[in-house]
């Protein structure tokens, strides 16, 4: 059974969710699907002549099958590099689900696959009563967990996986990202992740390899139904 959209969660900020999301987009496109990325909420955006822009959202846009309006990829773009609920409050805004859902549904209507990248970790606050985890819960999206291979990743991965399952979401799989090429006992840590996580590994991304070139490292069959 193929899956039209997935949510990319991370064990923390700065562990390569965007890199993994872009790599997954290229892998899906190589499999013959039309695919696009989405960053519903982004903080740390920059004002440009075209409007407010975020580097992660631009990377997702570049990795998508066809050019798209930026506002569909990133409907909520916040200036300050803070937790979204704080960045939004500083702008006098409250993040709500309806405009995010409208953009998501527009993307889903025109693509075989949509890769929705979260912001920060699983439980980052977006607004009063709304966490980042509220998006995959509301949209019933299976979750792929990105794990940055570095010291401490085992506990972060297990805690996040436990939270995903406890929130009633389906953990489809996990992707390991070699963010620390000097990590000691990296292969042993990977073996522990295989043993302890309640979902399959969809791939291990090498350090310093561009998404288009790393796409062959990912197994997209759980998404495409292949």
Please list the pLDDT of the chain residue by residue as tens digits (226 residues).
899 999 999 999 899 999 999 999 999 999 999 999 999 999 999 999 999 999 999 999 999 999 999 999 999 999 999 999 999 999 999 999 999 999 999 999 999 999 999 999 999 999 999 999 999 999 999 999 999 999 999 999 999 999 999 999 999 999 999 999 999 999 999 999 999 999 999 999 999 999 999 999 999 999 999 8
Question: What is the pLDDT at residue 1?
Answer: 81
61 by Cβ neighbours in 10 Å (0-12 / 13-18 / 19+) ranks as: buried
* pLDDT number for residue 141: 98
The number of helices, as runs of H, and strands, as runs of E, in the chain is 10, 12
Rounded Cα gap, residues 81 and 216, in angstroms: 33
Q: Which domains does the chain have, with CATH numbers?
A: 5-224 (3.40.50.300)
The pLDDT assigned to 176 comes to 98
Please pick, among 17, 19, 29, 39, the residue that the annotation labels catalytic: 39
Sequence-ordered list of residues with C-beta below 8 angstroms from that of 27, at least 6 positions apart, any chain = 215, 216, 218, 220
pLDDT at 146: 98
Q: Would you state the pLDDT for residue 226?
A: 84
Nearest to 175 by CA among 124, 132, 217: 217
3-class DSSP state for residue 125? strand
Is 17 labeled as catalytic in the residue annotation?
Answer: no
């Amino acid at each position: 059974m193929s899956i039209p959209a997935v949510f990319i969660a991370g064990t923390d900020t700065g562990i390569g969710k965007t890199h993994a999301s872009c790599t997954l987009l290229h892998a899906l496109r190589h499999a013959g699907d039309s695919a696009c990325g989405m960053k519903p909420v982004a903080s740390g955006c920059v004002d440009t002549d075209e409007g407010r822009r975020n580097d992660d959202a631009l990377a997702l846009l570049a990795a998508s099958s066809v050019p798209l309006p930026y506002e569909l990829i990133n409907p909520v773009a916040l200036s300050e590099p803070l937790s979204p609920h704080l960045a939004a409050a500083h702008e006098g805004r409250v993040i709500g689900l309806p405009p995010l859902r409208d953009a998501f549904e527009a993307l889903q209507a025109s693509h075989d696959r949509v890769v929705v990248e979260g912001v920060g970790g699983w439980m980052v606050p977006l607004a009063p009563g709304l966490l980042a985890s509220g998006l995959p819960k509301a949209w019933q999206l299976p979750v792929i967990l990105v794990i940055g291979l570095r010291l401490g990743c085992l506990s972060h991965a297990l805690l996040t996986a436990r939270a995903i399952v406890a929130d009633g979401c389906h953990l489809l799989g996990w992707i390991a990202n070699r963010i620390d090429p000097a990590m000691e006992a990296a292969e042993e840590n990977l073996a522990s992740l295989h043993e302890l996580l309640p979902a399959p590994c969809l791939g291990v991304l090498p350090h310093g390899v561009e998404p288009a070139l790393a796409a062959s490292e990912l197994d997209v069959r759980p998404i495409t139904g292949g």
